[in-house]
Amino acid sequence: MKKLAPMAARFSRTHEGYQHPAKLDAWEQAVMGSELEAMRWPGGSISGSDDGWDDCDE
Amino acid sequence: MSTVAIVTLAGDLHARVIRRQLQEVHGVDVAVVASDTLSAAGGLTWSNVAGQELTLPTEDGGTVSVADLDLVWWRRCHGRPTVPDAVTDPQMRKLVVKDNRAGLRGLLMAGFSGTWISDPYATERAQNKILQLSVARSVGLTVPRTLISTDPTAVRDFARAHGGTVIAKTLTGLLGTSLEAGRVSVDSLVDDDEITVSATVYQEEVPGTDHLRVMVFGDAVHTARIRSGELDWRLANDMEVEPVVIHPRLGDRLREVTRRLGLRMGVFDVKLRPDGEPVFLEVNPQGQFLFVEGMSDMPLGEAFADFVVDELAAVRGRAFA
């Protein structure tokens, strides 16, 4: 079967391996402390992404 | 004393910062309701039998009485809900999520009489990019020429009419996967099925490196300029963020978009063309804003808490009028 994805999938990126700016990282660390890593995707910022906040699925 | 509920996802940084600000600076009680962990929390109760208290679970393991609430910040009502592993049937897992969501919404809609930031249905409606672009244009904002389509011929014609390359981006988004805006050339638009399978936003590219993140909190407007060579700054490593003041006319128009969408707040993405013309891209009804504080030291947590306090004063004014 032909594999098909929507146009937007051409530009999909996971947050894996992404290092967000050090200044933002330091600020998030100061706010969240030791809980920070559990709250974010690997490398991702927890204060900057609007993606998919209206997702409905489990 | 006023009581505020923040409905959001567990561990939300924005909720923590604003709760701390409201409690420590303004003496406001704040209950955080984690909308994604309801199935493990208990504590959600509504009844039409006299004497039954309406309650919601709080993130710290307690409950809050809906009758005590003066304001609800409806920040994140979806996300990835937690369902106990012991519920193994996929259909029943889906039902757990749907029923908890309906319980949360229904309980607040029926039992809460304070003020919303922002109304849940206005928030959901305002999320639609087609509506946003239409409203933005109607208030006089410059918007990019846009096609949203599943018609391969229309998409290729649109790309040809705009120099052979246009921006493509999703109408919505996915939690955990960044779907960036990207360039597509007419030469790459050869697979009809890829175009037909889902509605996609195609836009003329707005040139330039300066983006504005504009936070409209009630009547207050706070703006940061994000400078990045990337088309989509969200995962850009090179971004520089600093506070700027925008022309009052732009601020008025963004406030008017917020008002027409029925929102009390909106976080706007605007791009500045090289000639200085601001071009509306989108509004996030519950957009993230504290990364701007983290990057620029703009006191946005403080500004948002002040906005909440102003909204609370308006509620009290109505109550005593």
> Do B173 and B271 have their domain in common?
no
Domain end call among B203, B220, B253: B203
Q: Which of B143, B141, B305, B279 is nearest to B222 (CA)?
A: B305
CB-based contacts of B63: which residues, under 8 Å, 6+ apart?
A: B43, B55, B56, B57
- Give the residue from B148, B146, B155 showing the smallest Cα distance to B192: B155
Instruction: Mark whether B150 and B221 lie in a shared domain.
Output: no
B46: in domain: yes
Contacts of B94 (CB under 8 A, 6+ apart): A57, A58
d(CA B219, CA B303): 12
In B84-179, at which residue ranges do the beta strands (DSSP E only) sit? Answer: 115-117, 146-149, 165-169, 177-179
Shared-domain flag, residues B237 and B174: no
- List CB contacts (< 8 A) between B178 and chain A: 12-15, 49, 51
At B274, which CATH number?
3.30.470.20
Which two three-digit tokens encode residue B193?
Answer: 């099925």
pLDDT reported for residue A42: 44
> Who's near B213: CB < 8 A, 6+ residues apart?
B223, B224, B226, B241, B267, B268, B269, B289, B292
Q: Is residue B128 part of a domain?
A: no
Q: Is residue B78 helix, strand or coil?
A: coil
- Residue B194 and residue B289 in one domain: no
Read off the pLDDT of residues B76-92 as tens digits, 9 standing for 90 and up: 887 778 899 999 999 99
pLDDT of residue B57: 96
Judging contacts by C-beta atoms under 8 Å, the chain B residues touching residue A17 are: none
Asked if B189 and B235 sit in the same domain, the reply is: no
Contact B104, B97 (CB under 8 A): no
The A residues from 33 to 52 touching B (CB cutoff 8 Å) are: 35, 38-39, 41, 45-52
pLDDT digit string, tens, across residues A19-56: 677 888 888 888 888 777 666 654 455 666 655 555 54
Residue B133 lies in a domain: no
* C-alpha to C-alpha distance for B269 and B128, rounded to whole angstroms: 14
Q: B217 forms bridges with which residues in the sheet?
A: B220, B265
Distance from CA of A5 to the nearest CA of B (A): 6
B68 and B109 housed in the same domain: yes
pLDDT of residue A46: 61
Closest-approach residue (CA) in chain A for B93: A58
What predicted TM-score, i.e. pTM, was given to this entire model? 0.92
Q: Are residues B197 and B223 in the same domain?
A: no
Phi, psi at B160, each rounded to 5°: -60, -40
- Report if residue B92 sits inside a domain: yes
Number of structural domains (chain B) is: 3
User: Which residue segment(s) compose the domain that B158 sits in?
Assistant: 145-203
Contact A47 B178 (CB under 8 A): no
Give the DSSP H/E element, type plus range, for residue B73: strand B71-74
Asked which of B134, B169, B203 is the last residue of a domain, the reply is B203
Is the domain of B85 the same as that of B156? no
Q: Looking at the domain assignment, is residue B49 inside a domain?
A: yes
Residues 6+ apart with CB under 8 A from B101: A56, B35, B38, B77, B78, B81
Q: Give the chain A residue whose CA is nearest to the CA of B174.
A: A52
Quick one: B26 and B107 in the same domain? Answer: yes
Residue ranges in chain B modelled with pLDDT below 50? none
Tell me if A52 and B174 make a contact (CB, 8 A cut-off).
yes
Say yes or no: B155 and B226 in one domain: no
Size of interface A-B (CB pairs under 8 A): 139
Instruction: Tell me: do B109 and B11 sit in the same domain.
Output: yes
Q: Are residue B239 and residue B285 in the same domain, yes or no?
A: yes
Q: Is B24 within a domain? A: yes
* B91 lies in some domain: yes
Which of B203, B220, B252 delimits the end of a domain? B203
Which two tokens mark B274? 């090289």
ipTM value of the model? 0.79
Residue B59 maps to a domain: yes
